[in-house]
Structure 1
Amino acid sequence: MSRGIGEASRRFIPIVSWLPRYKKAWLARDVIAGFTIWGLLIPEMIAYASLAGLPPQAGLYTLLASLALYAVFGTSRHLVVAGTSASAVLVFSAVTALNPDDTARYAALAGGVILLAGILFILAGLLRLGFITQFLSRPVMAGFVFGLAIFVTVSQLPKIFGIEKGHGDTVEQFGHLVTSLGSTSMVTLAVGAGALVLLFGLERFAPRVPGGIVALVLGIVISSVFGLAGHGVATIGAIPTGLPSIGFPDLHAGDLWVLVPSALGMVLVMFSESLGAAQTFAEKYRYRIDPNQEMIALGTANLGSGFLGGLAAGGSLSQSAVNEGAGARSQMSPLVASVLSLVTVIALTPVFKNLPEAVLGALIIHAVSHLMKVGEMRRYYRLVPREFWIGMLTLAGVIVLDVLPGLILGVGTSLLLLVYRASKPRLSVLGADPHDPGAYVDIQRDPAGVTVPGVLVMRPDAALFYANAQSVADGVEAAAHSSGAATRVVILDLDATDEIDITSAESLDKVSAALDREHVQLALAHVHHPTLALAREAGLLTTLSDERVFPNIAAALAWASDAGSNGSKNGGRPE
């Protein structure tokens, strides 16, 4: 009993496994890495809180929960789980769709969608649904985050120019910005533009210097010394000092119709980004990531952040790269950063009072600029134009429709394309490989393949299932007719099909009957036991008897060579 409990705890609480084996030699590097990511995350979290439409302290509260909880439950040694630009925008999009009438209501809805995302994460992890990100193709994700970056940049430009933010989609907001340029605050523009030049300049010429911290400190110092708030420059104002209270948001049943789909979209995006980052470092340092446990870890991080009034939390490749570059050896580094964040919340929040909003806008624009991967989109266009256009459709959907509808549009289009391609599998005509006895090749790709007169050997280059069964049946009939009267046997190789459904079995029966009327016999090769067992039990193969089912192509060809003169012979047992 105790052994079972121990194994379960090691599986679901990975810190139980790695902490007792922690090497003291790692501590110095982990502490340095912890200080480094703390310095990076503080300005980013304050900025992302603004992006999510929440007060600055929400970003700091996120760090108290997400860093520590992921260190306890996560399986990556290098992943940093905190607020991200994508998750912040998704929260903003979900909450504003419900038109909250005050800040308290807005905060409750934001907390609700974050908690729902946490619950969905944990349920998906317990149900072992870690494969769900396979439905988000690379081009769709690239187009989504590119569109997200444009959406975020346009939403932050009013802070740089010191004008009121517009309403509507990205196009409408940009139009409002252009028509409002006459009311630009030149002092605010100088602060925002200066912060942008500083951030991009340091990244280009001094990449090891933490640009976020430098911009944050200079913004606070200059604002305090010159009293920028008195010159029309908006600042974030006082941030409450002390620990946050734990609470459950007051939600209405009607809110769930919007929040649940939004939370599901957040889960897909955050898990895809997090798992990609985690696997990058796992491959580099040769350790294993458990995708299902990662879902549980992200779920606990979001539950903790939601109860504290923080942001949605996910893994970030850029933040994790900083952690790894600073020498992190284990999950101890985010634990150190969490302790430092606790100190910040208790004692250091008054420091940020005079931070200009324009500097926050610059920090956000700089952060999301790395998501505008033009080179990657060009590569998709060069390699597979069809997938490039799906990515561009997703990008356009985010800009014109909104964040979540844009994601749904991209995923839906990808799934439709997947179903379409699966419904049209290629049918290869096979011939014996003259260089490899017992092997068969596609004669269209290798004309040296040897065929048997009067026998057509075909193989669908995909598993047979209900969506493509009719297409395969039509292809077999068409090939038999086009080959002329000389064809007397068609052998269909089903090696790719491990199981069969009712629709597919009925289609095979129908094509067999159709060929029989043309005095052409259909035989099956490489029929696996599950396929034949279902067909027998359901009585689906009434025309195609066991005498035409063979364990391999060679056995089917041997039967076919005698079929014309001696009739059908027993084909033996299938695989």
Structure 2
Amino acid sequence: MTNDPPTSPNGSTGRLARFAPGLPALLHYRRADLSHDLMAGLSVAAVALPVGVAYAQLAGFNPVVGLYASILPLLAYALFGTSRQLIVGPDAATAALLAASIAPLAAGDPQLYVALSVVMTILTGLYLIGASFLRLGALADFLSKPILVGYLNGIALYIIAGQLGKLFGFAVDAHGIVPKLVEVATHIGQTQWPTLAVGVGTYLVLILSKRLFPRLPAALVALVAATLAVVLLGLDKLGVAVVGTVPAGLPTLAIPGIPFDLLDDVAAAAAGLALISFSSTMLTARSFAAKNQYDINVDREMSALGAANIAAGLSQSFAIAGADSRTAMNDAAGGRTQVAGLIAAGSIALVLLFLTGPLQYVPIAALGAILISASLSLVNLKTLAVLYRLDRLELALALLATIGVIWVGALKAILVVVALALARFVRLSARPQVEVLGRVPGLSGFHSIARHADAATEPGLVLFRFNAPLVFFNAPHFKQQALAAIAAAGPDLRWFVLDAVPVTGLDYTGYTELEALAATLRRQGAELVLAGRMTEAAQRRRAAGLDEPGLIRRHFPTLRQAVKAYRAMQTAAPAGEQPE
């Protein structure tokens, strides 16, 4: 798929691409793509309408606010994004996080609730844009997929627990997953049966629509069916709660004020929201970029998501992220460029102008059923099963992230997943894999003797590999493992060869540990030898003005040449004498 416009780094198009990567594609739009993008855009709008209404309810807003979040953000992303298929908009995880963050701060004040949402959403966007200027797009990789999967599994449970009251027709006031489930269980006798019937019926229509009419947007079909049931059967007169009046018209652009003493709490929550929304967005963007064989710019994506969030905030809406279901619909419908997103935004704007009347009859229970269905799609048991077979430690991290959401709630669980990510990073960096190498029959190169029982080593020679930069936080571990290998080699050790290729960095602490190791070896009549990175090591010594013949007398380009030199030295040494 090659739809890129002609660009030159120094031409006007190249300058536009540096500022707004999506603008050159719009200026050089190909008419051949219009029919594909038109169908995809209408399909995306059909999915975005019910989902936007449902996620607005989840976030604690009038349903129209969810539609506000699907207009200007799509325009902003079309200008600044680098993915051709990604659709941004209301997202289950960000909506749940935002509601959990601002509900305690608003203390029941609806105007303050909206103001806090707008300010938090704009701050989220500013954080993302600032991080993009600092080239922090790598933060997308900070939360490993197992941790993110575990967190989203927990968010799914959090959302489902919050929708059960709407499904059964009674209020649930408890906070947290377990207290909500307990309250639902104790109030089950208060079930409003017509409401439950609408919710269950909506869920069944969702399932049947996906199976019988896979090309139709199941959420829209289910929502239309539930709304028609309310209108035709008069279910609202039987106690089935409905959305009520939905204001027509496009959003007004404004930035409300909030009490200054709440700013710290809002800013802290916005930082966590930025991390989670960007990490989940990049999973979606990368997946569809790989499927359609093109590259995305991670830092540009961060700034584009930031601009989209600022647009959502200015629209009096709430934080958004990359929407996997709408992106999948865009791709399945043949969307080729971000014009599909613009068509979707235009379609939703027309609904806000002319078709808000029918929305007042949408039953709340139907929205709850749609949210439960969307939440179940977040649950990823397949990855957990793969982790069970592949890496039990990664599985434990995923489960801990889920337990974090259950135990401390969606917002505080961000601290849990960040702590888990830090612990994982420290473990991998401070305790990297250490290997003593040997020759394996039938295999080229050198391999770990711990993993190959038939690996052979040279008498008096240790080939040692440390798979990380040698720096302050892992230097003691390096020394400990090196001394263990020296002790295992015994008194006949002559050369201790360090494979320098994986050692991509060396700070002062690492240098001093190398010095200490060289001194230890000299006292035992052995020598520290390096293999690999000769040019880098020489440049580092010259730059530092160091002359270190006492530290490392021998340095070879490769392990193979080091072994060859050792064998030649052993052969040349007179019988009964130790080679120099």
Structure 2 length-normalised TM: 0.91
Q: 1:394 deviation in Å?
A: 0.6
Instruction: Check conservation: 2:436, 2:485, Cα contact below 8 A.
Output: no
- Alignment pair present for 1:90 and 2:75: no
Determine the structure 2 residue equivalent to 1:135.
142
The correspondence of residues 65-464 of structure 1 with structure 2, limited to 5 A, is 65-431=72-438, 439-446=445-452, 451-464=457-470
Letter in 1 for 2:483: E
The residue aligned with 2:68 is 61
Shift of 1:92: 0.7
Cα distance change on mapping 1:93 and 1:426 into 2, 3 Å: same
Inter-partner Cα distance in structure 2 for 1:263 and 1:77: 27
Q: Which residue of 1 aligns with 2:495?
A: 489
Q: 1:500 aligns with which of 506, 510, 519?
A: 506
Give the aligned residue type for 2:335: A
**Equivalents in 1 of 2:343, 2:507: separation in Å?**
54
Name the aligned partner's letter for residue 235 of structure 1.
V
Which residue identity does 1:141 align to in structure 2? L
One-letter identity of the residue aligned with 2:155: L
Q: Given the alignment of the two structures, is residue 36 of structure 1 paired with residue 51 of structure 2, yes or no?
A: no
Alpha-carbon offset, residue 265 of structure 1: 2.2
Report the counterpart of residue 572 of structure 1 in structure 2.
Answer: none
2:525: which partner in 1?
519
Q: Structure 2 counterpart of 1:460, which letter?
A: F
SS for the counterpart of 1:367 is: helix
- List per-residue Cα deviations over 1:298-347 (Å, max 9, x = no partner): 11111011011112121122111111222212111111111111111122
How far did residue 195 of structure 1 move?
1.1
Residue type of the alignment partner of 2:37 = D
Q: What secondary structure, in the 3-state scheme, does the structure 2 residue paired with 1:63 have?
A: coil
Alpha-carbon separation, structure 2, partners of 1:249 and 1:205: 46
User: Aligned residue for 2:6?
Assistant: none
- Per-residue deviation, 1:130: 1.4
Distance 1:375 1:435 in 2: 37
CA distance in 2, matches of 1:553, 1:199: 62
Matched residues in 2 for 1:328 and 1:96: separation?
Answer: 38
Amino acid at match of 2:391: V
- Give the structure 2 partner of residue 467 of structure 1: 473
1:500 and 1:470 map into 2 onto residues whose CA distance is 13
Displaced runs of 4 or more, over 3 A: 2-6, 431-437, 439-452, 527-544, 548-557, 559-568
Unmatched 5+ stretches in structure 2:
1-8
Deviations 1:278-302 (A, max 9, x none): 2222222222211111112111111
One-letter amino acid matched to 2:342 = L
1: distance between equivalents of 2:500 and 2:161?
A: 54
Letter in 2 for 1:421: L
The AA in structure 2 aligned to 1:263 is A
Answer yes or no: is the 8 Å Cα contact 1:14–1:74 preserved in 2: yes
| Cα distance in structure 2, aligned partners of 1:20 and 1:471 | 56
Is the CA contact (8 Å cut-off) linking 1:145 and 1:371 kept in structure 2?
yes
Name the structure 2 match of 1:14: 21
Counterpart CA distance in 2 for 1:527 and 1:544 is: 19
| Distance in 2 separating the partners of 1:169 and 1:197 | 27
- CA 388–430 in structure 1, closer or farther in 2 if over 3 Å, else same: closer
Deviations 1:248-269 (A, max 9, x none): 1313343233223322222222
Change (3 A) 1:214 1:450: closer
1:467 aligned counterpart, secondary structure? coil
The 2-side partners of 1:472 and 1:436 are apart by 27
- What does residue 515 of structure 2 align with? 509
Residues 102 and 509 (structure 1), Cα distance of their counterparts in 2 relative to 1, 3 Å cut: same
* CA drift at 1:543: 8.8
User: In the TM superposition, what is the alpha-carbon distance from 1:48 to its structure 2 partner?
Assistant: 0.3
Change (3 A) 1:185 1:477: same
Equivalent residues of 1:67, 1:80 under 8 A apart: yes
Q: Aligned partners of 2:117 and 2:536: how far apart in 1?
A: 49
CA distance in 1, matches of 2:433, 2:35: 58
- In structure 2, C-alpha distance between the alignment counterparts of 1:495 and 1:32, rounded to whole Å: 52
Gapped runs of 5+ residues in structure 1? 569-575
1:571 counterpart residue number: none
Distance of aligned partners of 1:335 and 1:421 in 2 relative to their CA distance in 1, 3 Å threshold? closer
Q: What SS is found at the alignment partner of 1:235?
A: coil
Which residue is equivalent to 1:573? Answer: none
Q: How has the CA–CA distance of structure 1 residues 238 and 443 changed in structure 2, closer, same or farther, with 3 Å as cutoff?
A: same
Identical residues among aligned pairs (%): 33
Q: How far has the Cα of 1:528 moved from its partner?
A: 4.3
Taking the aligned partners of 1:26 and 1:460, their CA distance within structure 2 comes to 52
User: Is the contact between residue 500 and residue 534 of structure 1 (CA under 8 Å) also seen in structure 2?
Assistant: no
The one-letter code sitting in structure 1 at the alignment partner of 2:308 is A
Structure 2 residue matching 1:8: 3-state secondary structure:
helix
What is the distance in 2 between the residues matched to 1:45 and 1:401? 27
Q: TM-score, normalised by structure 1?
A: 0.92
1:179 partner letter? T
Residues 506, 540 of structure 1: 8 Å contact kept: no
Q: Which amino acid aligns with 2:179?
A: E
When residues 28 and 6 of structure 1 are mapped into structure 2, their CA distance, relative to the original with a 3 A threshold, is closer
Q: How far does the alpha carbon of each residue in 1:1-60 deviate from its partner, in whole angstroms, 9 at most, with x for none?
A: x94664231223123321233221221222122111111111110110010111211111
Displacement of 1:101: 3.8
2:32 is matched with which residue?
25
Shift of 1:395: 0.6
1:537: how far off?
A: 6.4
SS in structure 2 of the partner of residue 457 of structure 1? strand
Moved more, 15-24 or 63-72: 15-24
Distance 1:4 1:253, change over 3 A: farther
